[in-house]
Structure formats: structure tokens, C-alpha cells
Amino acid sequence: MTSDVQHGPAAEGGTLRRSIGRKVLLLFVVGDILGAGIYSLTGKVAGEVGGALWLPFLLAFVLAGLTATAYAELVGRYPLAAGAALYANRAFKRPFVTFMVAFTVMMSGITSASAAARAFGGDYLAEFVSVPTLLAAYVFLALVTVVNLIGISESVKVNVVLTAIEATGLLVIIVIGVWSVITGDGEPGRALEIDPATGWVGVLGGTSLAFYALLGFEDSVNLAEECHEPARDFPRALFGGLAIAAAIYLAVAFTSTMLVETEVLQESTGPLLEVVKVAGLAFPPSLFALIALLAVSNTALINMIMASRLVYGMAREGIVPRVLGRVHRGRQTPFVAIAFTVALAFTLVSTGDLSGLADTTVLLLLLVFACVNVSVLVLRREPADARREDRPSFRAPTWAPVLGAVASLVLASPLTGRDGAEYLRAGVLLAIGVGLYVVNRLLVRRSGAGPREVTRSTPAT
């Protein structure tokens, strides 16, 4: 594996078509953030902090904004479809580091899908049928896999429809909240209560868990090469999308804690359904449960598509065993990579509960975020890429990526109250990556054929 990522007309496959404007990019960022997290983890966050449910979400968005400044600068500097692996590759020039960053992103997608599967088998599904959570999660992952196998075109169309549906569900909660304030229902004062038993340690733990609900904004960097003017449009779309998602999430969090007691939210795997049930503004609980199930499905589908394509890309470039890059002749989908990722998801579903899997997802991505924040500081020492956009690119204030790296590492530390199982789970997943890397190196040495040169289609695509 070479330590350089090639780009430009000479790269294999030519250049990607620049067809994405700022508005489309903004919608993509918002749609990528909205998902299973807010539908399923609101109660778990409340269990960490108490009635001030909105506070961890606010802090999570602030901390995500710090890392977003690093992404915004790096996209302007390297407007290529490669993401965190490209930035690590350019900054550290170590093939193993580049691989592990890409593999960590891939594993975060699988753990996220596993958490969504657990959420699917909870209280939302119980509105229709009583099924053991684990069985429901297995069936759910199987259905997501079928959609993934059918083809990317069909999967993207399903994603568009599900994104619109999940946004509608959150708007329903916001309307309920506005109506409750107008009619004087609920207890707004509860939103200022912090659990005295946990205090600010609970706030920190809740912030770490709330991170799961807003992950996805970092995926938008993979569209940089297809934007009309990435250096100008991406920062505006990224920060605008984060602001819109923050406003929606804070309104949902405030409504939830205003209308439902903390203990009830904490015990529910369908916390927003509890809001609908007690709302003065009537809305069919079963219809909302269906919306929530579709929102959870969308999160899992997005993540499993991303994870399987990452494995396929790494296999195609010869970074992991090439068998993982085999494509189905009829459907033209990476069926071996899909089988590999869903096998990991099935295993993870069996080893952790909803909050544990969500925390593992956050833990993995926090490590990636720390790497990205350090990368932008390292790359400032190098001259700007001659191929960057003519327009001035965004430059993050130096303190932002510094604080972003520190905040990511703090949230990934035991200070947030993480238990050993989360670190063990993350460690095992990363060990699988190390194993794949070593096995592939041995196979390459034995065959005498080196891996292909890493192109624009780097594993982080």
C-alpha cells in the first residue's frame, strides 16, 4: 500500500461529476444526522443527567462543532472523496495508520447499525407485536441486508423516503411541545433539574451518549469531490446543517422532559412514544411507532451500506484479503463484504444492549475525530495543494481543533463513566482490523504481488 493518495485526471476512473450544490449538501448533512439516536436514546441520556435532558445534547453539538471546523478546513484543502483516511494519510504518511482510521470508521458504522437493531426490537415494535428483542434484532438485520444486497440504487431510493419520514416524526414531537407550552401542560421546570446523584459526571456521561444521536455529519466530507465549489459551500452547509439539527434535537429533548417524568423516559426504549401518549395534542401512538421504526431502519441501512462499501474498497485496493471484494454478477453488489459486515453486526447485537452499543460507536468515532483534529494541525505545516479551489478555503481558528482533539479524548476516557465492556468491545473490533492487515501483508508477501496503489477511491469513501 502506498503512503500517498492519488487524485486528479490521472487517477483511475477519471474525475467525479460536480453536481451537488449548497442546498442539496445542506439537506444531506441534516438527513445524515437525523436518525435512530434521538428516537431511541433520549431516555438513556435522561438516565445519566436527569431532567436537564437538553444540556448533554447542547454540549454534544458544541463539541461536534469543534471537530466540524477541522473537517471544513480539510475539505477546502483536499476536496476529494476520501474523508478521515485521506487526512490521516496526508498528515502521517503511514499505511497502517491510514488503514486503521478507515477500519475504525467502518466498525463504527457496524456498531451503530447493531445499536439500531436493538432499538428496533424495543418499545416501538411492541406497539404492534410482542417479540423477544434479540430475535427482532436478528430479523431486522436480515431485512436490512436484503435491501443492501438488492442494489445501491434501490437502497438510496429507500433512504430518501425514510429520511423524509423520520424528519416528519420529529416535527410531530416539536408541534406537541409548542402546543403543550401554549396550553400550559407539562412541567418546564423539570428541564433545569440535574440528578444530584451523578452531578456533572452524569452530564459528561450523557454528553458522550448524546453524541450518538448527532453522528453522521462527518460522512458528508465524502461528497466533497462532487460539490460545485466545496471550499466555499461545504463549511456553510456543514455548520448550517449542524445548527438545524441542533435546533430540532433541543426542541425534542425539551418537549420530552417537559411532558414525561425522567424515570419513565429512562426505562423506555421508545422514549418519544411516551411523549406522544401523554400529549394533549392527539396523535395515533401506533402511527408514531411506525415512523420511529422506519427512522431506526434508515440509520441501520445507511451504516451497513457505508460499512460494506468500505470493506469492498479496501479489498479492491489490496489492503485486506481480496476475497472480501467479490461482487455478485447479477446484482453487482459486494456480497462478500456485505456478509462479512452483517456477521459482525449479528455478533455485536448479541454482546451488548442499546446504550452499550451506542457508546461503543461513539468511542470509535471519537478516536477518529481526535485523529482528524490533529491532522489539520499537522497539515498546516505543508504548502497548500495546488489543486485546491480558487476561492479562499475555510481556516479553523487554531484553538478549535486543539479543543476538539482534547474534548474527543476526554469523552473517550473513563471520566464519562464508561464501563470496561465498551473498551473491551472496541478493542476486539480494532484487533480484528489489525489481524486483517497482518494477514493481508503475509498473503501479499507470499504471492509477491503488492497491493494496488491507493486512488481517490480510498477506503474512507
Q: Which residue has the higher pLDDT, 282 or 242?
A: 242
Letter string b/e over residues 199-227, b meaning 16 or more CB atoms within 10 A of that residue's CB? eeebbbbbbbbbbbbbbbbbbbbbbbbbb
What torsion, rounded to 10 degrees, do the Cα atoms 291, 251, 304, 127 define?
Answer: -30
* pLDDT category of residue 9 using cuts at 50, 70 and 90: very low
305 pLDDT exceeds 50? yes
Mean residue pLDDT across the chain: 81
Range with lowest mean pLDDT among 32-36, 295-299, 394-398: 32-36
Mean pLDDT to the nearest integer, 145-157:
71
HSE-CB at 303 with a 13 A cutoff on CA atoms is 36
Rounded CA separation 257/193 (Å): 10
Q: Which residue has the higher pLDDT, 334 or 344?
A: 344
Range with lowest mean pLDDT among 17-31, 158-172, 422-436: 17-31
HSE-CB at 445 with a 13 A cutoff on CA atoms is 6
C-alpha dihedral sign at 443, 436, 144, 294: negative
* pLDDT category of residue 51 using cuts at 50, 70 and 90: confident
Across 16-30, 76-90, 347-361, 401-415, which has the greatest mean pLDDT? 401-415
- The pLDDT, as a whole number, for residue 21 is 67
How big is the CA angle at 318 (ends 313 and 320), to the nearest 5 degrees? 75
Rounded CA separation 123/113 (Å): 18
User: For 217-251, what is each residue's pLDDT tens digit?
Assistant: 777 776 666 667 777 788 888 899 899 989 999 99
Exposed/middle/buried for residue 350 (C-beta within 10 Å: 0-12, 13-18, 19+): exposed
Range with lowest mean pLDDT among 6-10, 367-371, 392-396: 6-10
Whether 39 contacts 296, CB under 8 Å:
yes
Rounded CA separation 240/178 (Å): 23
- The pLDDT, as a whole number, for residue 81 is 56
Letter string b/e over residues 248-272, b meaning 16 or more CB atoms within 10 A of that residue's CB? bbbbbbbbbbbbbebebbbebbbbb
Which residue is associated with the grid cell 452483517? 342
Mean pLDDT to the nearest integer, 253-269:
90
How big is the CA angle at 120 (ends 114 and 123), to the nearest 5 degrees? 135
Mean pLDDT to the nearest integer, 307-326:
78
Tell me how far CA of residue 18 lies from CA of 72, 160, 313, in angstroms: 18, 20, 22
444 pLDDT exceeds 90? no
HSE-CB at 280 with a 13 A cutoff on CA atoms is 13
Bridge partners (DSSP) of residue 345 are none
Exposed/middle/buried for residue 447 (C-beta within 10 Å: 0-12, 13-18, 19+): exposed
Bridge partners (DSSP) of residue 20 are 227
Whether 276 contacts 176, CB under 8 Å:
yes
Mean pLDDT to the nearest integer, 380-396:
63
How many other CB atoms sit within 10 Å of the CB of residue 446? Answer: 8
- The pLDDT, as a whole number, for residue 11 is 37
- The pLDDT, as a whole number, for residue 66 is 94
- The pLDDT, as a whole number, for residue 7 is 40
Closest CA to 285 of 118, 121, 128: 128
Q: Which residue has the higher pLDDT, 151 or 382?
A: 382
Range with lowest mean pLDDT among 12-26, 186-200, 385-399: 12-26
- The pLDDT, as a whole number, for residue 226 is 62
- The pLDDT, as a whole number, for residue 398 is 93
Rounded CA separation 323/316 (Å): 9
Q: Which residue has the higher pLDDT, 120 or 281?
A: 120
Rounded CA separation 215/129 (Å): 30
What is the biggest distance separating any 2 CA atoms in the chain, rounded to whole angstroms?
74
Range with lowest mean pLDDT among 53-62, 116-125, 126-135, 442-451: 442-451
Range with lowest mean pLDDT among 30-44, 75-89, 250-264: 75-89
Tell me, rounded to whole angstroms, the distance of Cα 189 from its chain centroid: 32
Q: How many helices (H) and strands (E) does the chain have?
A: 18, 0
- The pLDDT, as a whole number, for residue 449 is 53
The domain segmentation of the chain, as residue ranges, is 22-447
- The pLDDT, as a whole number, for residue 333 is 78
What torsion, rounded to 10 degrees, do the Cα atoms 191, 193, 195, 196 define?
Answer: 170
375 pLDDT exceeds 70? yes
Whether 226 contacts 18, CB under 8 Å:
yes
Tell me how far CA of residue 396 lies from CA of 68, 81, 214, 227, 251, in angstroms: 9, 21, 21, 20, 29
> Domain 22-447 is in which class?
mainly alpha
